[in-house]
Structure 1
C-alpha cells in the first residue's frame, strides 16, 4: 500500500484560513500545524508556538516510511502539541517573528512565567 504524505497546503489549511479571519471549526484534541501564540501564565506575555507535521519521506519513491507525527516548539522548547493546543491562537508569520525577537530584546517579555501589567509598562516607556 502506498502511503502518501499529507500535502503542505492541506497541513496548513486551518492555520492559513484562521489567520485570514475565517471562523474555522476547531477541535480540542486535533492540533493543527501553523504559527501560534499563547501565554505561559495568566496575564503573562505571549510566547511563540510552532506546530508542524513531521514526515519521514523516502527520497526515491516519495512515500512515507513512518507514521506522520505532530511536533511543537513553545517558546523555544519542545512541547506536546496535544497538551498546548487548547491555549494556542493563530498568528501571522510577521507576528510570530516579532514575538520570537521580543523575548530576546525586551527584558519584561523574557519573564514568560510572570504576569505583566501592560498599562504600567506603557507608562514607564517613552
Structure 2
C-alpha cells in the first residue's frame, strides 16, 4: 500500500502524464512515519460511550470493554490498545503499530475478542473497577461469583447480602 498521490501530481507539462513511483511518493510525502493519535484510536469507543451507535465493521477498536466468559456469569474487564514504538527525539514511529487485547487480565486475540466485547464499551474507570473487584474477590471472598468469573452465578451458593 503506497501513500496517495497529491492532487495534480500526475499532471505534467505539455499534455503528457508523469508516473510517480512509490519512492517518489514516499520522498514527497516525507519518509517519517507518524503514530496514530490517541484521539483517533479512541474515536469509535468514545462515540459508542455517547450512545451514537457507530458502525461496527468487524475491525477491533481501541478502548475499554466488558464481557461475560460464560452465560449467566459476571462481567469481566477487557481492553484493546495499540502498541506504538515511538522515537523520543523525533516522534517517529520506529516499528509497525500492533493491536493488543486483554480479557480478564489475560492476553487475547483482538479479532476473536471483538465479537464478544464490541457491544459492551465501558469507561476506563469501570474497567479498573471490574479488575479490582475480581482481584479482591479472588483474595478475600473465594465464594463470591467474581472470584470465579468462568462459572455461571449460582444463587444457591451466593451469600445473602442482608
Checking the alignment, whether the CA contact within 8 Å between 2:73 and 2:145 is kept in structure 1 is: no
State the TM-score, normalized to the length of structure 1: 0.89
- Report the structure number with the largest CA radius of gyration: 2
RCO comparison, higher one (Cα < 8 Å, 6+): 1
Change (3 A) 1:56 1:45: same
Identify which range, 8-17 or 105-114, moves more after superposition: 105-114
Does the residue aligned with 1:109 lie in a helix, a strand or coil?
helix
Q: Structure 1: any 5+ residue segments left out of the alignment?
A: none
TM-score by length of 2: 0.70
Aligned equivalent of 1:105, options 122, 129, 136: 136
Choose 96-105 or 2-11, whichever is displaced more. Answer: 96-105
The verdict on how the C-alpha distance between 1:3 and 1:74 changes in structure 2, with shifts beyond 3 A counting, is: same
Match of 1:52 in 2: 81
Following superposition, the deviation at residue 42 of structure 1 comes to: 1.4
Q: CA RMSD in A?
A: 1.8
1:8-54 deviation line (CA, Å, top 9, x unaligned): 000001111111211111122x1101000011111211100111000
The corresponding residue for 1:27 is 57
Distance 1:98 1:61 in 2: 36
Which structure shows the bigger proportion of residues in strand conformation? Answer: 1
Q: 2:48 pairs with 3, 9, 18, which one?
A: 18
Number of corresponding residues: 124
